[in-house]
Structures are given as C-alpha cells and as structure tokens.
C-alpha cells in the first residue's frame, strides 16, 4: 500500500474507533476524536514512534506481520482485512515490477 493510502487508512480507522469500543478508559481529557496514537500502537504491539511515522507518511513499508497486527488492533472485519492485504500486495508487486528481484534471491536471477 502506498504511503498516502496507508496513512489515510490509519487515520480514518483511528478516528472511527472510540476507547469504549475496545474497553479502554476514555479519560477526562481527550484531544482526539477517536483513539490516541499510543493506544493504537499498544494494541498493535509496536512503538508509538513507528506507528506515528506510518500515519505521517514517513514510515517504511510495513511487513506482513505489522499489517496483520494493525488489522487486529483496528478490529477489522475479514473483508476489510483482505482489502488491506490485497492493497499491500499490489503495492509490493508494483515495486517489484519496476525494480525486479534482487540478484541472488530465490526469485531473482543468479
């Protein structure tokens, strides 16, 4: 998934979830509409800094494990999760198509 689409998706999902939806304390002072970045990062078992970089279009392409962790943290439906993974695979294939596989890898020329 390209950085812009991923960042937009992460922000929209974070805004859509409320702390009560995930049995988190709402607290008395919330400046955000939905979950805080640190709450999402904690649910996905990643650092807040890494999550923030993804959401701010500064992060690297997330691994499949990271994408799966985000899908679990956001409580995505099977269809939403499949869409997220399909978009991620399309982005990877477009990069591979323009750059090819590295030499010496199982898929690259030796």
Report yes or no on 110 lying in a domain.
no
DSSP letters, 73-110, are HTT--HHHHHHHHHHHHHHHHHHHHHH-PPTTSSSS--
* Residues 6 or more apart whose Cβ sits within 8 Å of residue 17: 34, 35, 74, 75
Higher-pLDDT residue of 101 and 83 is 83
CATH classification of the domain holding 37: 1.10.260.40
Higher-pLDDT residue of 63 and 49 is 49
Does 101 score more than 60 pLDDT? no
What pTM did the predictor assign? 0.72
Number of domains in the chain: 1
Does 105 score more than 50 pLDDT? no
Q: What is the pLDDT of residue 52?
A: 95
Does 87 score more than 80 pLDDT? no
Report yes or no on 66 lying in a domain.
yes
Does 6 score more than 50 pLDDT? yes
Q: Please give the average per-residue pLDDT across 67-95, as a whole number.
A: 76
Does 8 score more than 90 pLDDT? no
Report yes or no on 68 lying in a domain.
yes
Range of the structural domain that residue 54 is part of: 3-99
The pLDDT tens digits of the residues spanning 21-41 come to 777 777 667 677 788 899 999
Q: Identify the CA nearest to 75 among candidates 36, 38, 34, 43.
A: 43
């Amino acid at each position: 998934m390209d950085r812009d689409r991923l960042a937009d998706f992460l922000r929209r999902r974070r805004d859509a979830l409320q702390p009560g939806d995930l049995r988190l304390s709402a607290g008395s002072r919330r400046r955000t509409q939905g979950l805080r970045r640190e709450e999402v990062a904690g649910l996905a078992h990643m650092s807040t800094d890494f999550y923030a970089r993804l959401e701010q279009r500064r992060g690297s392409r997330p691994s499949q494990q990271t994408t799966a962790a985000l899908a679990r943290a956001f409580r995505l439906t099977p269809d939403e999760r499949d869409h997220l993974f399909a978009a991620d695979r399309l982005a990877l294939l477009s990069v591979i198509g323009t750059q090819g596989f590295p030499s010496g890898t199982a898929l690259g020329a030796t």
